[in-house]
Chains A and B, each alone.
Chain A
């Protein structure tokens, strides 16, 4: 024990004066080493770094291990744990009520690609502003390790059962259906995941972020294609991503021959530096090509596959007033006596 008392060191704060503690949540109840916990940490960092007021965020989830995790970040934000596979509709409703919210939906591969595939595809095609994260471990954790629909063909369970159906590629689906920011990452890749999350916060449209997140209890063995070892061995990174937030006064200096600069909705920049091949992240066909080729080569391809900052989001299409509909005063939501009289007269 120290015998002298040191003055407390000044706590680090973000651009709105909040400490990182303001972005934390309850203690996790997931298994030690679960990939989901690493994703939670990156979510905390991303919102902290971006300086988002926690009360602006709405946290949504379905059912499963993944869907518990919104309790572990942004304690002071509102959260809604919906029913299995149907978080997208709850998120949609919340955004219809209050379009000023920043919604983050956390789902799993079972919650999204099986029971929730119907709501998932319709969320993607609406391009609702939301950060939709799949914490993807290829299995059902809470019910003890059954295959999910993102398990790769030939992947093996702990008990030796081999998956004989092809995986649903949620990124390819999202690109096809109309999501406007589609990426895949790995819970173990701190820098890439944080960067993609910061970009997600800067984007105003449907962000679909599939994060391979190994299940240490049921799907981290040899024969699994969602284990830490397998992903580390087989990960191919599409491009090197750098995020420059709108509030940082840094002149963006890059070589247009090797780097693509994407200006996101809030004015932030995402710099995508080409690695081995030339790649245009605004081209849907290219995105589907690289995803298909990665499957053929048994690679876990990560990176930002597709981004479109021009398509209108669902709320813009609805042409609602700028204020949240939820709290419009009576005089704006109840027409006048004269309006009722007019209708009654027409019905006489």
Chain B
């Protein structure tokens, strides 16, 4: 399968004389398990260190070794970091996909490739840079067993030379990548140098792309969304983490384990201020989250769509028993084997109403690694304030890819543990009613198991209970409880993060998006303005339930394009359910669902088409 598309009607083939500086998308095609991830991250980091805005996307198979994988690195002086549909520079290392990869390129594209693949025969309108990788790797890597891994470092040197990436930055990035493994770093850097020298002596620069130092990344960090979310959980004060391995979420809890062991061991006793348990399945993971939340811990799990489905029954109980918990959904494509290593925003509708018998859950939509961090912290506060499961809807693109970001801010506020009564409170009050709406916000007061007071205990159960938490089948008792829970969801509407709106005065059309789609949409806004003269307002939704700001935004525009990465326009449907009918008819849906992160061109074209 090719991951590239022929750019229809593209006339950007003006030849090497016009140098293009700091604006290209490099695609590296390799075999999974061949060490190429290290090579690609070294390239990415070196570009980043040169001060050039950069993003990397790993388009990988569900496989440990042997299947094709692609990595795209986009450098953009304008700061665009969404995936680019077009490939400007190809490194073809995989014999299996090389022909298809090359056939998909637009005219004039440079191709670095393994000489023995003889790709030159395929087309005469590309710029070919053949490299004898096997010959180059042999002298720098005497151990034949390691050559498969080291070989891919050679293209790093070749690309560095051809694109003018500073070798000092390459070395710095490589040594960071290999951390304390000095021998491995030396071995790999020698391979980089061999590639660089070969390109310098034997290849004639014939393409127009060039990277030059900028100062746009100073002070910034590079991190994956899952690692950012893990940091957020740690600084949110999470104490109980239960999880079951599933792509693309596993790295969240794995990174969390690393950070917690480092920063959350009690300095005196050397014991853990946390418990992390790998559960037997997602059914158990969510059960443990709820048990811990009920007993007062800040508890969480992390999963993907199939795990969310398994958690459905328990999440409904969490909603009705009113137990806090944070669930990260790192969304991916499809059930069962589906496309577990490809991205989507496909769980929106099913998660918003997960379970049975009238259930609704707050969802947070981080768009950036920084929001993975900040929203993780917010999610724990919301879960305890609202006493309900809260979902953080990330995706594979955000969770597993490396993104640049400003450093994360230290939390300003202390944590909010919500309405919890202790023994002293019970002594003063004489008792409490667990599910009574004392404050009019739908949220009752709770006690924790182990509270030393005879009036502390209550029996947590499903929907059929009165204010004292005693089982009841009385119709008015049931309906009253349901109505209170609806009021609680209104409270949630006020507490969740509101939309981020960029007005464009007098614009007829608005664009509405969420999560990682944001990065394509901001580029689309630019493309529409510069290419078509179309001005559009933009509303980035950050949570469900939608706040008033979302409805007002729709109200101010004549047509609103809801852009998302699923087939059915799930958030668009959720908006239609929520908005007044006359506002709902303004919504138009733009959907991207091929498993790859959405790109701006596709969005722009779809909007232009619908605008007619």
Contact = CB atoms under 8 A, between A and B. Distances in A.
A319 B272 CA distance: 6
A185 to B, nearest CB: 26
Interface in A304-348: 318-322, 324-328, 330, 332-335, 337, 339-340, 343-344, 347-348
Nearest to A68: B471
Contacts of B290: 82, 90, 93
A267 interface: no
Interface size range on B against A: 35 or more
A81 B407 CA distance: 44
Contacts of A122: 279-280, 284
Closest 8 A/B residue pairs (Cβ): A93-B291, A89-B287, A326-B296, A97-B297, A333-B237, A97-B295, A93-B288, A90-B291
A119 B280 contact: yes
B593 interface: no
Contacts of B52: none
B414 A90 contact: no
Interface stretch (A53-61, A133-141, A145-153): A53-61
B271 interface: yes
B448 A98 contact: yes
B284 A89 contact: yes
B447 interface: yes
B435 to A, nearest CB: 14
A321 B450 contact: no
B275 A325 contact: yes
Interface string A44-58: 000000000111101
Interface string B429-451: 00000000000000000011111
B479 interface: no
Interface stretch (A5-13, A71-79, A187-195, A230-238): A71-79
Interface stretch (B26-34, B99-107, B147-155, B219-227): B219-227
Interface stretch (B6-14, B198-206, B453-461, B534-542): B453-461
Interface stretch (B59-67, B261-269, B520-528): B261-269
A78 B287 contact: no
A321 B414 contact: no
A216 B182 CA distance: 74
A161 to B, nearest CB: 29
Interface in B272-323: 272-275, 277, 279-281, 283-299, 313-314, 317, 321
Interface string B188-214: 000000000000000000000000000
Interface of A: 22, 26, 53-56, 58-60, 70-71, 74-83, 86, 88-98, 100-101, 118-119, 122, 318-322, 324-328, 330, 332-335, 337, 339-340, 343-344, 347-348
B570 interface: no
A118 B244 CA distance: 14
A227 to B, nearest CB: 29
B461 A326 contact: no
Contacts of B275: 96, 318, 320, 325
22 contacts: A26-B470, A55-B452, A76-B454, A78-B448, A80-B294, A82-B287, A89-B284, A89-B286, A90-B287, A94-B295, A97-B294, A97-B299, A119-B280, A319-B271, A324-B450, A325-B240, A325-B275, A330-B414, A335-B263, A340-B235, A340-B408, A348-B221
